[in-house]
Structure 1
Amino acid sequence: MVSTNQFPPVANQTLRDLLEWPMEINEGNRERFAHLGSKGGSTGFILNDALYAENHQGDRIEMVLLTDDLSLGKQMFLSHHLNSFESKLLGSEDFRREVKEALSDS
């Protein structure tokens, strides 16, 4: 709803200010996206993340990653590689298709 401006303008801007921190910490994100927002929710055995992105041509994508019952090692590994994984998902339709196929086979 944030990525498609479905909230009243003041609420939507407040949410964007809170969620679009990736735009502030990485100049490459500003070059690549008009909007990029993210919100995680992880614990010791769970790694969750939701994000939305809009490029400068107006193309949008939304992704949610929900995991459960991770070992501490897997949680640490995934946390360390999450940004690279999501960046590759955002940038490559072929990679998104490959991940989708791999997940549907399991």
Structure 2
Amino acid sequence: MSEASYVVALHEPDTAEYVYVSPNMEMLVGLKASELYGKTPYSLFHEDDLSKLAHDHRNKQKGEDPNQTLKFRRRMPDGSYRLSESVSRPVTDHEGNVIFIVSITRDAEGED
């Protein structure tokens, strides 16, 4: 898979809102990066996956589980779902405070 297939995003630690999204997000979910700024990713997830994703985000807020990989279903513009895989980790300042959460996500459809 090419590097362009990976989407990098920065999230506010308290709200999970997008602060930065790489432009290739449009290839992954069919939305322009600019459409996501200030919004949370939770509207893009299947409702059955929300709990584990929110739990993972809370752990990242606390600086825990920095390299756990999660698979989840993401909603496409036509209402269908595709499997994605994401790893996220906290970004800290020099005092150890979590200032952002960075995520790297890719399409995992068709994989076991």
Higher helix residue share? 1
Larger radius of gyration: 1
TM-score, scaled relative to structure 2: 0.28
Which fold has the larger relative contact order, with Cα–Cα distance below 8 Å and residues 6 or more apart in sequence?
Answer: 2
TM-score, scaled relative to structure 1: 0.29
